[in-house]
Amino acid sequence: MESWDIRSLEIEPHHPVVLRSDDETRAIAIHLPAGEELREHQVHERTYLVVANGEIEVTKDGRKIKGGAGFVSHFEPRERRAVRALSDARLVLVLAPWPGVGHPSRPR
């Protein structure tokens, strides 16, 4: 078993920490300072976003939703979204399958 306390893990802003990566999933911890954002983006994998600490706002297709500690959202592969920190936030992204279809590291 592996476990992490995201709230106390040393995560520098702009330097995500890969918690685990294997043939099925990748889990990434992110420290997003207040006012900063993960600009509109998409990934090749299905994504689960979990807020461990702080408050965020997720924007998708002009719709905004706020969430704090315990907030979980799901995005389909290639679904575009932006995430902004309303206060210092610690997030976990779980990407599956890893790497997703079309990811540059995946053999064609």
Domains of the chain: 20-96 (2.60.120.10)
Q: What is the pTM of this model?
A: 0.87
Cβ atoms 49, 89 nearer than 8 A: no
Overall average pLDDT of the 16-35 stretch: 95
Query: If residue 26 lies in a helix (H) or strand (E), which one and from where to where?
Result: strand 26-32
Above 80 in pLDDT, residue 81?
A: yes
Quick one: pLDDT at residue 64? Answer: 96
Q: Which two tokens stand for residue 17?
A: 């920490």
Overall average pLDDT of the 9-27 stretch: 94
**What is the rounded average pLDDT for all residues in the chain?**
92
Above 80 in pLDDT, residue 89?
A: yes
Q: How many helices (H) and strands (E) does the chain have?
A: 0, 9
Sorted by sequence, the CB contacts under 8 Å of residue 81 that are 6+ apart come out as: 40, 41, 42, 58, 59, 60, 75
Question: Which tops the pLDDT comparison, 32 or 105?
Answer: 32
Cβ atoms 67, 51 nearer than 8 A: yes
Overall average pLDDT of the 64-72 stretch: 97
Q: Give the model's confidence band at 100: pLDDT under 50 very low, under 70 low, under 90 confident, else very high.
A: low
